[in-house]
Structure 1
Amino acid sequence: MSIEIRRAGNGDLDLIAPLFDLYRVFYGKPSDPALARDFIEARLGRDESVILLASVDGTVAGFTQLFPGFSSVSATRTWILNDLLVLPVARRRGVARALLTAAADFARADGALRLELETDHDNATAQALYRGMGWVPYDGTLRFRLPLR
């Protein structure tokens, strides 16, 4: 078994958009292939995110999407690992670990201070993977959000 991770480009839209649609469905949104395609096309076209695409033996297996951020206090770049999906047929084969490793390598090479992510409280499988790879919860912080619509 061979896992390949590469940075996706505009030419990969037809590979990524269906994966992104599945990702949204996983989080309770209705399938909307056109919306998924438009969203990914805009991110790639405007260079607003970095998408890493995973293949197993030449077949698309998953992706992760990173968004840029900044730490004002440290006056440096950060990256937010916003999306991570591995197709069911490719799970338990090291694909998520390879995507997370590639994301960390990318952020380090970019000179980022840190890589951040958020997961659901009940996603014990993901939490175990993250902790096992050295990710740590924020100490002494609370995250808040203000819904705007």
Structure 2
Amino acid sequence: MRIEQATPEDVDAISVVLGEIEAYYGGKPTPGDTDQIRSALFSGRPAATVLLARDGDDVWGLASYSLLWPAAGAETSLYLKELYVRESARRRGVAGALMEAVKAAAAEAGCSRVEWTADTDNPSALAFYAALGVEPRNGKIFYRAEGS
């Protein structure tokens, strides 16, 4: 297995995995719009970076992150938006390898911390994060305003 930053050639594979993520969370298993993916990841002003876990040509999982500023004072943090391992690749160390790559990306970018959220109704994710030794933080409430 290897972890690599996604390239424009990976848009179709990312689209399929995004469809699987939607299905995992109860939505329609519709692949993501490739034009939106290309714009979000590979335009002149990318919104995120995607790391892909691969075995040969097979994509086993992905981690999507953005840098946030300010974190503490004038520091920068890395925000992990999505960590997903495809069902056929679970329990093979893929999530752990992706998390290590995310931490390395944060260190390379000079980030003071890595932050993320997890759904309270996703016990396998919560157990994975607990196994990493990371404690949930209290003190913040999550908000979402839908676009117009």
Aligned residue for 2:3? 5
Aligned residue for 2:41? 44
Aligned ranges 1:65-84 → 2 under 5 Å: 65-71=64-70, 73-84=72-83
Aligned residue for 2:124? 125
Q: Distance in 2 between matches of 1:50 and 1:147?
A: 23
C-alpha displacement of 1:38: 3.2
- More contact order relative to length (CA 8 Å, sep ≥ 6): 1
Q: Secondary structure of the residue that 2:50 maps to in structure 1?
A: strand
C-alpha displacement of 1:20: 1.2
C-alpha displacement of 1:27: 1.6
Q: Structure 2 length as normaliser, TM-score?
A: 0.87
Deviations for 1:18-42, whole angstroms, at most 9, x for unmatched residues? 1111112212222332x44233212
Structure 1 position 15 matched with structure 2 position 17: no
- Tell me: CA distance 1:100–1:36, structure 2 relative to 1, closer, same or farther (3 Å): farther
Structure 2: segments with no counterpart, 5+ residues:
none
Structure 1: segments with no counterpart, 5+ residues:
none
Contact 2:3–2:97 under 8 Å retained in 1:
yes
The RMSD of aligned alpha carbons is 1.8
Q: Distance in 1 between matches of 2:16 and 2:146?
A: 27
The number of residues matched between the two structures is 145
Contact 1:18–1:36 under 8 Å retained in 2:
no
Aligned ranges 1:33-112 → 2 under 5 Å: 33=31, 35-46=32-43, 47-71=46-70, 73-112=72-111
Contact 1:55–1:61 under 8 Å retained in 2:
yes
- Tell me: CA distance 1:113–1:12, structure 2 relative to 1, closer, same or farther (3 Å): same
The one-letter amino acid paired with 2:95 is A
